[in-house]
Amino acid sequence: MTTPIRRAMLKGFVRSPDMPSTLTVAEPYLIQQDWNAYTSEQHAIWQELVGRRMPQLRQYACQEYLSGFVQIGLREDSIPNLADVNRRLGPLTGWNATPVSGFLPPDAFFEMLADRQFPTTTWLRDRESMEYTPEPDIFHDVLGHVPMHAHPVFADFLQQYGKTCARIMHDKDALERMGRLFWFTVEFGVIRQHGQIKLYGSGLISSHGESTHVIEGRPEIRDWNLEQVLNQTVNVSEMQPVLYAVESFDQIFEAAKEAEALLCR
């Protein structure tokens, strides 16, 4: 689905002349962010969205996320300029938030992750969709995902994940199991820090409802177990009944390598 707001934001966007040439499958989906095209109303929406989330995140997001937010120069009062974000992020871990036109097919998505490029949409939801949008926007992609890319171990994990998935594109069952690893880490990951459950998954970071669900202790929090994660049923249309907590991000990096050994045989 392409919303009117997204169509408006994509109008006039052109392929960036300096986009990385290492991509092949994903190349047709790359665009250039026209930061000057954002309106004052859109910057105000961004400020309101971030303002709603930050009080909770300052208390319940993991330290690595909060550090990354500062390191990549995110601001609460204006939509991020991805070029500015990348000037800060690149020297930290080699990752880039790369503008794309929307949802990518799996092979293009994995190609980008394997190349340390995170597919980042540039459109922003409108006021009628403040609580939820069915497709990712720049608020979800940047606020939810990109601060974690400043953490070296998480950054290595995400690249390893992309490389593994690119290798198993022919195996539907293996790819589905890897999708569960993504779901319970990148999207709905939690970590134990100082005796408390902290958030790092983008689905929790960007959603007040999902994060409150966790903070109030409603889901079952299980110790990290790769075998269980790869076989755990996922329902994307409901609040998560089960989450898996890691003790450190080394666990998910090792899990990505273990999953590769298991599924690429």
Catalytic center residues: 140, 145, 187, 206
Query: Would you tell me the crossing angle of helices 172-182 and 152-167 to the nearest 10 degrees?
Result: 160
Rounded to 5 degrees, what are φ and ψ at 244? -120, 120
Burial group, residue 83, by CB count within 10 angstroms (0-12, 13-18, 19+): middle
Binding residues for Fe cation: 140, 145, 187
Cα separation, 113 vs 157, in Å, equals: 10
Burial group, residue 138, by CB count within 10 angstroms (0-12, 13-18, 19+): buried
Closest CA to 44 of 120, 101, 124: 124
Copy the structure tokens of residue 102.
Answer: 């929307």
Binding residues: 140, 145, 187
